[in-house]
Amino acid sequence: MTNKENFNLIFIYSGEFAERVIRNLINDPSFCKSCGLYCDSCKYNVYSFVRNIRAAMQLPSPMELPAFIDNPEEYMPKKISKADLCVASGLHKDLLLELPKHIQRAGMEGLIVPIEDFNEVPSGLKKQLEEKCLDFGLEYAFPKPFCSLEPSEDKPTISRFMNEMTVGRPSLEIAIEIMGKQEIIASAIVRRSAPCGSTWYITKKLVGVEVKKEILYDAIAKAHHSYPCTATMNVDPEAKEPILHIGGYIIREEVEKALKGIT
């Protein structure tokens, strides 16, 4: 593994989703525009992991490639920087299956393939990837969506990525105040954000909201859709509902968990 003092990762991707995650991780000041003129720079200058991202390598879009690639090696990066972890997104299925071999050669210990759209990583492809990762001794995770990723004792490299870069399944700290007969959210602090950065926006929109369930749920849903979530609205055949809805349930559950933690 690379220097323990400096966790490093690379992105190998096609499409806009990975770029969104990268821009959140480096805290690009032009990235989040959801608040428009009301932006108070709540997240800027709070963190930046630009030094931890060793490379971001964009491969051809699946739409630009043949349906079946006989020699995927031709399309892979000629050289992959040494790092601890690779995040792969939006790749052609044959290039994705080729990836575990290449990142293992580069000395990496784990692979994360976020699933924001079932069509990009269907269940059969996911199973093949799992087998390849096991063959090459790699940790792996296929979070659906990315904000469902949680730490795990048997995946120390992936857990370290989450803990040090504070992304994955959101974690919040909420304080409330009493105003008349109403309980109002006084503050909401992000302890861990969804990788796309949406948690920062959602928590900001919760301040001043009554904790009455129907009012709170409505506020969360509006903020989640306004950011907007990067997951698809197409119905996932395994979950039987859109992955975007799963992302909405996750942030709602985490808000409720934070409220229950208030003594």
Same domain, yes or no, for 152 and 234?
no
Chosen domain end from 140, 165, 190: 165
Chosen domain end from 165, 186, 218: 165
Does residue 77 have a cis peptide bond before it, meaning omega lies within 30 degrees of 0? no
Task: Evaluate whether residue 4 is within a structural domain.
Answer: no
Same domain, yes or no, for 67 and 105?
yes
Same domain, yes or no, for 189 and 144?
no
Q: What is the pLDDT of residue 2?
A: 39
Beta bridge partners of 182: 179
Task: Evaluate whether residue 1 is within a structural domain.
Answer: no
Best CA proximity match to 113, nearest among 181, 17, 224: 17
The mean pLDDT value for 166-192 works out to 95
Best CA proximity match to 204, nearest among 87, 63, 34: 34
Same domain, yes or no, for 189 and 89?
no
As a whole-number percent, the residues of the chain with pLDDT over 90 amount to 84
The mean pLDDT value for 16-29 works out to 93
Write the pLDDT tens digit of every residue in 112-146: 999 999 999 999 999 999 999 999 999 999 999 99
Chosen domain end from 135, 165, 195: 165
DSSP 59-98: PPPGGGS-SS-S-GGGGS-S-----SEEEEES--HHHHHH
Average pLDDT, the chain: 93
Write the pLDDT tens digit of every residue in 75-121: 999 899 999 999 999 999 999 999 999 999 999 999 999 999 999 99
Parent domain of 112:
9-165
